[in-house]
Amino acid sequence: MAVVLGALAAGILGTSLHAQVLYAGDTPLPLGAVGALLFSAATAVFAGLWARSVAVSAATGVLTYVLLGAFSLDMFSGPLIVTGTSSGLDLPVVTSGLIWLFGQSLATVAAVLVTAVVLRREARFERVSAANPVLPYGTDPGYRPGPGPLG
C-alpha cells in the first residue's frame, strides 16, 4: 500500500511541479524538475522507512518511473511530460521533462541507498541496546543518593 500511494504522490505531484522554470537573465533554470526529483526521492525513502524495507523504497521508485513513462506518452490528448518537439527547438520545458523523466532513476538509487544506511544504523543501535540493557532508575550498583532537599 505504501508503494502505490508513494508512487502516485511522487508521480502526480512531481509531474505538476517539474515544468516550473526560473530564469536568471536569459538562462532557464529547471528548478521544478530538481524539486520534483528531491520530492520523489524523499517519498521513496519515507515509504521504505515506514515499511522498514529497502525493497519497498526501490519498488516505490520503480513504480514512480513507470508512472512517469505513462505520463510521457500521448494518452491524455498530449503528453504531461514533454521530452521533445517536432520543431527541433530546445525549449526549457523539454529540458525539464528530460531531467524529470530520466533523473527518476538516479533519485530511486539515492533513495534506496539512504534507506539502506538508515535501516542498517537502526539495526546496529538495536543490537547494541539489547546487549547493554539500561537499568531502572536507582538500581545501578554505582548509584549513590545525593544530599536531601535543602532547607
pLDDT tens readout for residues 72-84: 888 878 888 887 7
Give alpha helix (H) positions in 19-145: 31-51, 54-71, 92-131
- pLDDT at position 143 over 70: no
Percent of the chain past pLDDT 90, that is, above it, reads 58
- pLDDT at position 99 over 80: yes
Looking at every residue in the chain, the average pLDDT score rounds to 88
At 130, is the pLDDT very low, low, confident or very high (cuts 50, 70, 90)? Answer: confident
Please give the full DSSP string across 9-47, using - where no structure is assigned.
HHHHHHHHHHT--EEETTEEE-HHHHHHHHHHHHHHHHH
Task: Say which amino acid occupies 53.
Answer: S
pTM score, whole prediction: 0.81
pLDDT tens per residue across span 30-72: 999 999 999 999 999 999 999 999 999 999 999 999 999 999 8
Could you give the angle at the alpha carbon of 29 between the alpha carbons of 24 and 34, nearest 5°? 145
- pLDDT at position 142 over 80: no
